[in-house]
A and B are shown apart, each in its own frame.
Chain A
Amino acid sequence: MDEVQRRLAHIHIRSSECKGCRYCVEICPKRVYEMTTVYNELGYRVPQASHEEECIVCRRCETACPDLAIYVKRMGVRFNRRNLSVVDASYQR
Chain B
Amino acid sequence: MSGGQVKFPLDDLLRRDRFPHLWCQGCGLGIILSAFCRAVQEADIDLDHLVVVSGIGCAGRLSGYLNCDSFHATHGRAIPLASGAKIANPDLKVVVISGDGDLFAIGGNHFVHAARRNLEMLVICSNNFNYGMTGGQLGPTTPFQALTKTTPFGNWEEPLNLVQLASAAGATYVARWTVTYTQRLTNSIKKGLQREGFAFIEVVSPCPAIYGEMNEQGSAWQMWEELEAVSRIRDGIPPAEASLDIHERIICGDFIDRERAGYTLRLRQNRDVARQKALASYG
**Residues of A near any B CB (own CB < 8 A):** 11-17, 19-23, 26, 42, 44, 48-49, 52, 60, 63-71, 73, 91, 93
Contact = CB atoms under 8 A, between A and B. Distances in A.
Contact of B8 (A12, A19, A49, A52): A12
Contacts of A48: 1
B29 interface: yes
Given A19-B25, A23-B220, A68-B30, A63 B1 contact: no
B150 interface: no
Nearest to A70: B3
A30 to B, nearest CB: 16
B20 A67 contact: yes
Interface of B: 1-4, 6, 8-10, 14, 19-21, 23-31, 33-35, 38, 42, 179-180, 182-183, 186, 219-221, 224-225
B156 to A, nearest CB: 32
B25 A69 contact: no
B176 to A, nearest CB: 18
Nearest to B180: A64
Contacts of B23: 66
A51 to B, nearest CB: 12
A77 B19 CA distance: 34
29 contacts: A11-B1, A12-B2, A12-B6, A13-B3, A15-B3, A16-B4, A19-B20, A19-B26, A22-B26, A22-B221, A23-B220, A23-B224, A42-B20, A48-B1, A63-B31, A63-B186, A64-B180, A65-B30, A65-B31, A66-B26, A66-B29, A68-B8, A68-B14, A68-B19, A70-B3, A71-B3, A71-B8, A71-B9, A93-B42
